[in-house]
Amino acid sequence: MRYKSSWIGGVFAVIFSGMLDPATQAEVLRLYFTEKLSQRRIASRLGIHRQSVAALIARRNVHLVRSKEGLRPSILSPFYERIETLLREDAARSAVNVLQKLRLAGYKGGLTILKDYLRTSRPESEPKAYLSLEFLPGQAAQVDWGDFGDPFGWGRKLWCFVMVLCWSRILYLEFTLSACLESFLRRHENAFHFFGGIPQEIWYDNLATAVAERKHKLVRFNPRFLAYSGFHGFKPVACNLAAGHEKGRVEDGVKYIRYNFWPGRSPQDTGNINGQAFEWRDQFANKRLHAATRKIPELVWGEEKTHLRPWREGFETDEVRSLKVSPQFRVSFDANDYSVPWRLSGRMLTLRADDHRLSLSLGAKRITTHPRSWQKNQAITNPQHEEGLKETKPGASPHSEIEAVKALGPHATRYLGFLGAQTRSLRTELARLMTLITIYGAEAVEQIIGRALELGIVGSDHLERLLEQSENPASHPAPLKLSDPRLLLPPQTPDLRAYDSLLFHCEEGECPDANP
């Protein structure tokens, strides 16, 4: 009877295991195969009979064995080993990513048979359902960032900017190491150039670079971002809170990139990974049959182009900072130090940077440029910026600066004679002269000294002003001379009778008529 009872209980366990709801069955399999819990602990945690757990697991194992045994030789057979290798590298690879890799290896079959093979060891999750948003051609695009960690080991996140046109589903992607506002705008510019125009609206999921503040339905966009949208004439739209599905087109795009492009990549830098990304975009992403539209994005993109607004260049996307030069004649920017000529220590300079280079200027005069480093704690220096520094140290010639000024030419030599008769500090004046030589060059300073002597003025502040005017004559128009035709008025004969009332204090009605 005990054997019979056990046998009957097993039969009922198999029956009841099939009566468990799908969510419970999925949780049983997850706890057993993924969490590696025992059957007893699973039964206790979920409040079901242990034999139901055992029967469900046994039925799953039989299905796996039969599925593997049931595979007969097919066009996919020569690629089984390659598939297993790809899955060992990254178990999260999608079927489409595996298909792309197999295409490069010579596979000529379709996606369905590949999905059937992958499903035996990696069951697909149930899809979620959302209400669909419909857009007209050229009406809208959606934008998002994807976080891809720190693949270079530089202590910086690698971000993927993604923009998708909502009607054609054409996709633009670009990797960058900065998600600041200026970088955000540069990615927009590149996307508009790629699309060949600008949509009427662009949707964002409350990105900090676009949305400065939000209280429920009230949205305050970043002022500079609003200026950018106004420049190009598109309307920014912030998705509702906790409603990321409203921009599901671009979120699906980020997922598509993460699971179909990214697995197996070993990028060296952003240039390298973007080269791979653009090739993949043009070869696979925009040529695929889109799962939602059942159309190929690249083929319907041409129709949407005609509805896009024209793109125009000219918006400033450089990162601009005012920075003080340190005593080590360097400026600090984005976790790195960049050198400038040593005579500029203590001065305030203007830095402008894009993705590749940065420049440093004093007023309108560019001082130096450097390649931008995306690593951290680096010192990017130019050996020429140290030239002449040793000559100013103790023990060096006390007349080195005077000799350097004399070497400019006859105007500078004559200027020194007048400089000594002034009340200004000679040491300060010579130091400023050398700074002007560093900024503008010896020839320009010699010429402007000659100009200053013609005007009868002496002093580094006058020289600097004259040099600025020579660099930007349009911003400093020459003063008008008395002989300038614009100052000449038409000749007129004055009527002196108008002054009689003032000279003789005429009573009303007694003075001669001033306007006969």
149 and 253 share one domain: yes
* CB neighbour list of residue 338: distance below 8 Å, 6 or more residues apart: 330, 331, 358, 360, 370, 380, 381
181 and 263 share one domain: yes
What would the mean pLDDT of 12-30 be, rounded to a whole number? 66
Whether the pLDDT of residue 387 is over 70: the answer is yes
* Mode of pairing for the β-strands spanning 379-380 and 336-339: parallel
Domain interval for residue 110: 2-119
Tokens 């400089």: give the residue: 419
End-to-end CA distance of the chain: 143
Please state, rounded to an integer, the average pLDDT across all residues of the chain: 79
Residue 193 carries which side chain, given as an amino acid letter? H
Residue of higher predicted confidence among 356 and 391: 356
- What's the pTM? 0.62
Calculate the dihedral angle through the C-alpha atoms of 199, 203, 207, 210, rounding to the nearest 10 degrees: 50
Question: Of 62, 90, 119, which residue sits at a domain end?
Answer: 119
pLDDT at residue 231 in the model: 92
Is 402 part of any domain? yes
85 and 190 share one domain: no
Q: How confident is the model at residue 69 (pLDDT cuts 50, 70, 90)?
A: very low
CATH code for the domain in which residue 15 is found: 1.10.10
Is 65 part of any domain? yes
**Residue 176, phi then psi, degrees to nearest 5:** -150, 160
pLDDT at residue 399 in the model: 66
C-beta separation of 330 from 340 below 8 A: yes
Q: Count of domains in the chain?
A: 4
Task: Report the alpha-carbon distance of residue 251 to residue 237 in Å, rounded.
Answer: 16
CA atoms within 13 A on the CB side of 160: 26
Is 202 part of any domain? yes
pLDDT at residue 449 in the model: 86
185 and 236 share one domain: yes
213 and 350 share one domain: no
Whether the pLDDT of residue 383 is over 60: the answer is yes
pLDDT at residue 198 in the model: 95
The pair of structure tokens assigned to 370 is 């450097």
What would the mean pLDDT of 244-257 be, rounded to a whole number? 71
Q: pLDDT tens-digit profile of 148-166?
A: 999 999 999 999 999 999 9
C-beta separation of 260 from 94 below 8 A: yes
214 and 292 share one domain: yes
Whether the pLDDT of residue 6 is over 50: the answer is no
Q: How confident is the model at residue 401 (pLDDT cuts 50, 70, 90)?
A: confident
Q: How confident is the model at residue 65 (pLDDT cuts 50, 70, 90)?
A: very low
Is 90 part of any domain? yes
The pair of structure tokens assigned to 443 is 């020839």
The pair of structure tokens assigned to 114 is 């590949």
The pair of structure tokens assigned to 422 is 């002034």
Q: pLDDT tens-digit profile of 94-117?
A: 888 888 888 888 888 888 888 888
Residue of higher predicted confidence among 371 and 398: 371
365 and 449 share one domain: no
Is 489 part of any domain? no
pLDDT at residue 106 in the model: 87
**Residue 278, phi then psi, degrees to nearest 5:** -65, -40
Residue of higher predicted confidence among 249 and 121: 249
Q: How confident is the model at residue 32 (pLDDT cuts 50, 70, 90)?
A: confident
> Could you give the 3-state DSSP secondary structure of residue 140?
strand
* CB neighbour list of residue 179: distance below 8 Å, 6 or more residues apart: 145, 157, 159, 209
211 and 292 share one domain: yes
Residue of higher predicted confidence among 55 and 331: 331
Neighbours of 467 (CB within 10 A): 22
Whether the pLDDT of residue 258 is over 60: the answer is yes
219 and 330 share one domain: no
Whether the pLDDT of residue 20 is over 80: the answer is no
Question: Of 85, 119, 153, which residue sits at a domain end?
Answer: 119
What would the mean pLDDT of 1-12 be, rounded to a whole number? 44
341 and 301 share one domain: no
Task: Report the alpha-carbon distance of residue 401 to residue 460 in Å, rounded.
Answer: 14
Q: pLDDT tens-digit profile of 192-249?
A: 999 999 999 999 877 777 776 766 666 778 788 888 999 999 998 887 654 455 555 6
pLDDT at residue 241 in the model: 58
Please, is 5 exposed, middle or buried when counting C-beta atoms within 10 Å of its C-beta (0-12, 13-18, 19+)?
exposed
pLDDT at residue 85 in the model: 83
346 and 441 share one domain: no
Is 508 part of any domain? no
Q: How confident is the model at residue 139 (pLDDT cuts 50, 70, 90)?
A: very high
Which of 373, 401, 376, 392 is closest to 329 using CA atoms? 392
Is 483 part of any domain? no
* Listed range (3-7, 27-31, 388-392, 450-454) with the worst mean pLDDT: 3-7
CATH code for the domain in which residue 181 is found: 3.30.420.10
374 and 406 share one domain: no
DSSP H or E stretch at residue 275? helix 270-283
Is 9 part of any domain? yes
Task: Report the alpha-carbon distance of residue 187 to residue 185 in Å, rounded.
Answer: 5
